[in-house]
Structure 1
Amino acid sequence: MPKAVAIVGQIVLYGAFAAFIGFFATYPRYRPIPDDAALIKLSMSHLGGRECRKRTPEELENMPRNMRAPLDCPRHRSDIKLEVDLDGQPLFSTIMQPTGLSKDGVSTVYKRFQLKAGSYRLSVRMNDNLINPGYNHVKEEQITLKPAQVLVIDFNPDKGGLFFRQ
């Protein structure tokens, strides 16, 4: 008799535990963003340019023959300036600094913007070598975001630089 009571007790407890897990697996419902909103995610990693300079003939003459490289390129990378505008208004601006002890690693940024679904003019400008003035990568496009849609702003030099992925 005590063995049957133990089995029934285990069935009741396991059933209560399964119901508890089942209830909280579906309720409360998780909503990462409201139903009428969309997301723009800025996510990129990029190596900044090197700030090389050309050595003078006098410098080259004073160097050993096996070290006469015409360009002097320090190990560190340039900071990267990035600006994002939405409908002509500044949305985000930053200067990304290279990682690593010698400042020779990638510069990374991740930012998330929640906005109402609709049509916008999105403009992204980036300069990956701050020795040169202005922006050497620019992407501007009219976008239409649907509710719960995610648009990613990324950079890939093999795909032409800045691009938007929906």
Structure 2
Amino acid sequence: MSRIRRMILGTAVTTLVATGAAFFSAAPSWRSLPEGTGVVKLSFTHGGARNCRQLDAEELARLPANMRKREICDRERAALRLELDIDGEPALRAELPPSGLAGDGPARIYKRFPLGAGDHEIAVRLADTGRAEGFDYEAARRITLKAEQNLAIDFRPEQGGFVFN
């Protein structure tokens, strides 16, 4: 094959590949959410409380001097109890076990809730101390969700609990 024929064939193949790539980068159109919908994402990592107790003077005296601590704690963490309500309706009820082989790691959650654009009431509650009744952290917000908006709900105990971003 002559050099000119190879150049023409190479140009044609390159043009065909570039045109195909340009077409498929714009069509068919794809949307991750239906029109007029936003997403509320609940995502955090948090370790539940440990069961700790104070040692009395007799127990401290029995321990070697280098091992004397006033408080001892179990290795395993408490499971988290989590509730999320959207517009007064239960959207999530979960018990999140601690991670790790010994149950000593943090619990994790990531959930998406597609919602129509507009005003919504969000209430979220968390118990991280192993208690059976009530919650240690609670937050309620009225949000205005825009179409294609992502609203993240995070948990940061150092900031007082739930953070809406």
Aligned length: 165
- How far residue 132 of structure 1 moved from its aligned partner, in angstroms, is 7.0
Task: Provide Cα deviations, 1:78-136, integer angstroms capped at 9, x if missing partner.
Answer: 11111001122110011111111221111100000111111111100001111474211
Q: Residues 132 and 54 (structure 1 numbering): CA distance in 2 closer, same or farther, change over 3 Å?
A: farther
Query: How far does residue 75 in structure 1 lie from its aligned partner after superposition?
Result: 1.4
1-structure distance, mates of 2:124, 2:63: 44
Cα distance in 2 between the residues matched to 1:61 and 1:34: 67
> What SS class does the counterpart of residue 73 from structure 1 fall into?
strand
Mapped partners of 2:88, 2:10: distance in 1: 65
SS in structure 2 at match of 1:21:
helix
**Residues 41-60 of structure 1: matches in 2 within 5 Å?**
41-60=41-60
Which residue of the partner structure matches residue 36 of structure 1?
36
SS at match of 1:52: strand
Change (3 A) 1:35 1:151: same
TM, length-normalised to structure 1: 0.91
Task: With the length of structure 2 as denominator, give the TM-score of the two structures.
Answer: 0.92
CA contact (8 A) 1:84 1:123 kept: yes
- With 10-19 and 141-150 compared, the bigger mean Cα shift is at 141-150
Unaligned segments of structure 2, at least 5 residues: none
Please say if residues 50 and 76 of structure 1, whose CA atoms lie closer than 8 Å, have aligned partners that are also in contact: yes
Equivalent residue letter for 2:107 = S
Q: Distance in 2 between the 1:134 and 1:55 partners?
A: 29
Give the % identical residues: 36
Give the structure 1 partner of residue 74 of structure 2. 74
- Per-residue CA deviation, residues 43-82 of structure 1 (Å, 9 max, x unaligned), is 1011111111223444334333433322220112111111
Given that residues 96 and 107 in structure 1 are in contact (C-alpha distance below 8 angstroms), is that contact kept between their aligned partners in structure 2?
A: yes
Q: CA deviation at 1:146?
A: 1.2
> 3-state DSSP class of the match of 2:50?
coil
Deviations 1:16-64 (A, max 9, x none): 0100111001111121101211111011011111111223444334333
Counterpart of 1:153 in structure 2 is 153
Name which of structure 1's ranges 129-138 and 144-153 shifts more when overlaid on structure 2: 129-138
Unpaired stretches in structure 1, ≥5 consecutive residues: none
**Cα contact 1:51–1:131 (8 A) shared by 2:** no
Quick one: which amino acid aligns to residue 60 of structure 1?
A: L
CA-CA distance at 1:5 after TM superposition: 0.7
One-letter code aligned to 1:105: G
Q: Where is the strand percentage greater, Structure 1 or Structure 2?
A: 2
User: How far, CA to CA, are the matches of 1:30 and 1:76 in structure 2?
Assistant: 45
Does residue 93 in structure 1 map to residue 84 in structure 2? no
Supply the distance in 2 between the matched residues of 1:122 and 1:35 (Cα, whole angstroms): 22
Match of 1:118 in 2: 118
